[in-house]
Amino acid sequence: MTALLPDDTLAEHLRECLMELLAARGPGRSICPSEVARLLGQRKGWRWQDLMRPLRTVAAALAEIGLIEATQHERVVDIRDVRGPVRLRQRTLGSLVARRRERVA
């Protein structure tokens, strides 16, 4: 199932900002989605709170294609289904192996 994205320009801004922050944070490190919304809001003069829902949609699409993953209490979750705070991180080979082990166990 493909996530419906907000308008293309907004989605692109959100994707770029999200990936920029993840790259700056480094492998194995995570960010709070509000960090992305706050940074983009500051750059564009937008209210960061208004960016949170579109950001979760963009994050879901990036997770779906395997670029990032969302976590809650250090467990990988589906950002489309989970409620409450999440963290985002780049998907790594180690996280893929760990996830496969969880499915087998």
Kindly state the tokens that stand for 68. Answer: 């990032």
* Beta-carbon count within 10 A of 55 CB: 25
Options 1.10.10.10, 3.40.50.10140, 1.10.287.3510, 1.10.580.10; which CATH number does 8-104 get? 1.10.10.10
Q: What b/e sequence results for 83-104 when a residue is b if at least 16 CB atoms lie within 10 Å of its CB, and e otherwise?
A: eeebbbbbbeeeeeeeeeeeee
How far apart (Å, rounded) are the C-alpha atoms in residues 68 and 64?
Answer: 8
User: What is the average pLDDT across 40-51?
Assistant: 96
Whole-prediction pTM: 0.81
Alpha helix positions (H), the chain: 8-25, 33-44, 52-64, 93-104
pLDDT grade, residue 2 (50/70/90)? very low
